[in-house]
Structure 1
């Protein structure tokens, strides 16, 4: 093997995150360590001459050379955070989760990977995905492309109670909430923006049907994030409730929330919300909450609580 091949091999190995150890390379190519050191020097000259955003550095800890990007890189702290959030989400099937974690690790150096892997090892080993076990990565990307291209799509969709329906929709956003990815799409038949769980879309194909919306019917995903909970739509209301629990938890749940009154043992919170999702959260708080406005919402809460109590008789 000539010097050019040897240097290309070293460069390719470094580019893929491997550590180049002088003695190992000398043995592999049956040359002296001094020859390999000269290869390193020529590689440095090449990086400088071509203004490449890499620097060849020696790691005492790894006892070898590695390439480091000179541009801003993703830090090991950021990679760890992303992996932790991803594992906690339980959103991907096992194979896709492990592949995504591997891909994220590849964005950082081998040394950083050795630091991160023991931290995530146990959580990754015991990873428990959701029951649907549907592959989502390609589907997520494809629907994102439909959104960018404003492309109508015909889907075969399995509803909550296993009923299968066919719908032609205009995808407008992909949102993650409470373990699931949702496609928010305009449905011309119902003249409304509806929510479709990505894992329940059994088949999809592009449609030639033209779908138009009025300005009022257009979807604003930023506003939706502030108003909707558990991906459950409904009527927009100004909710007021007394709260005896951890105030921060309530304020985090409702981004538009503010404390309007403080008492010694409870606060009054006001928030603009969609009523159905808000009702679900309030019910989950048990005796720590009391809805006080609007009146029709309070009446609905009382009715639901009475029905709940009746089940225990």
Structure 2
């Protein structure tokens, strides 16, 4: 009898812990108990959960009349619910930052800790995206490397890496380059994770960028580097200055925008400011690294005109002219 009671209590308690609604008739029918016994068991669990020295501080078992049963109130406030898990899963799938096996493992674990009554609903909503998920071309597992890099940054440890550089033909070189680095940050952008680091012995004003998936070997050394906290690297600030993880010279860019959504421009360029506005035409200024912002501006076509600085404007004009000549030459060949 005691074992039977334990089975029922564990069943009710587990359902409550998982965010499910415990309905009287469901329990009565499953275990063939009477109504009085059900209420006694609910009281036993309620006394356990709500006692002063309980580890479940702030949580209470209440009758939710809308849902038609008992729930563990307060559980949803401290754990991920179905809306949050669905949103996180969607972002992860869209990012395409991990290979399929890693993304499936992460989403499955998110579902495990989700406090909701119907996890199958989330699986159904994202099921097609998971099945048709396309891994990034590098095909490498990254979680361990990302953790190693993060640990080195936190502990200010010097990294010794072997790295595959990009060749002039647009393909990754077979030859490995070795770098001794002072790791500063870890960023994600357009499908890839990047290590931001200063090279030992070099006095560059800004750090160098390395794609994590191209790191062949990574060793955290016993050596530490010093951090000048008044000049320490700030991931968030650096992120505002860079596009497509391309550096170049840091410049104050000024351009005219006449496209469909100025909101999208301000989201894309976090430190941009509108300095003038008139009938759907915006004059925008932003501090950005030249190479990356140039790529973005070119992608906007006739919606953008660079106004300054003059040198950068001329560079844009030259690039556009080269593009025009490329198309004209193609037409002549045909």
Partner of 1:253: 268
Partner of 2:314: 299
- Measure how far apart 1:244 and its partner are: 2.2
The answer to whether 1:177 aligns with 2:183 is no
Mark the CA change 1:86 to 1:32 in structure 2 (over 3 Å): closer, same or farther.
Answer: same
- Measure how far apart 1:9 and its partner are: 4.6
Mark the CA change 1:5 to 1:204 in structure 2 (over 3 Å): closer, same or farther.
Answer: farther
TM-score normalised to structure 2 length:
0.79
Mark the CA change 1:218 to 1:12 in structure 2 (over 3 Å): closer, same or farther.
Answer: same
Name the CA distance, whole Å, in 1 between partners of 2:142 and 2:255: 38
The answer to whether 1:17 aligns with 2:18 is yes
Choose the corresponding residue for 1:130, options 113, 132, 136: 136
Structure 2: 5+ residue runs without aligned partners?
330-334
Q: Is the 8 A contact 2:96 2:135 kept in 1?
A: yes
CA-atom RMSD in angstroms? 3.1
2:137 is paired with a residue of what secondary structure? Answer: coil
- Measure how far apart 1:280 and its partner are: 0.6
Q: Is the 8 A contact 1:152 1:170 kept in 2?
A: yes
Partner of 1:47: 49
Of the structure 1 ranges 197-206 and 207-216, higher mean CA displacement relative to structure 2 is found in 207-216
- Measure how far apart 1:228 and its partner are: 0.9
Name the CA distance, whole Å, in 1 between partners of 2:165 and 2:117: 47
Deviations 1:54-105 (CA, angstroms, capped at 9, x unpaired): 4446789999866554472334322222111111111111111112112222
Q: Is the 8 A contact 2:182 2:197 kept in 1?
A: yes
Mark the CA change 1:238 to 1:107 in structure 2 (over 3 Å): closer, same or farther.
Answer: same
Mark the CA change 1:63 to 1:135 in structure 2 (over 3 Å): closer, same or farther.
Answer: farther
Name the CA distance, whole Å, in 1 between partners of 2:81 and 2:19: 18
The answer to whether 1:289 aligns with 2:304 is yes
The answer to whether 1:109 aligns with 2:121 is no
Q: Is the 8 A contact 1:92 1:130 kept in 2?
A: yes
Query: How many residue pairs are counted as aligned between the two chains?
Result: 310
Deviations 1:3-22 (CA, angstroms, capped at 9, x unpaired): 38647854774476286752
Mark the CA change 1:70 to 1:244 in structure 2 (over 3 Å): closer, same or farther.
Answer: closer
Partner of 1:231: 245
TM-score normalised to structure 1 length:
0.84
- Measure how far apart 1:250 and its partner are: 2.1
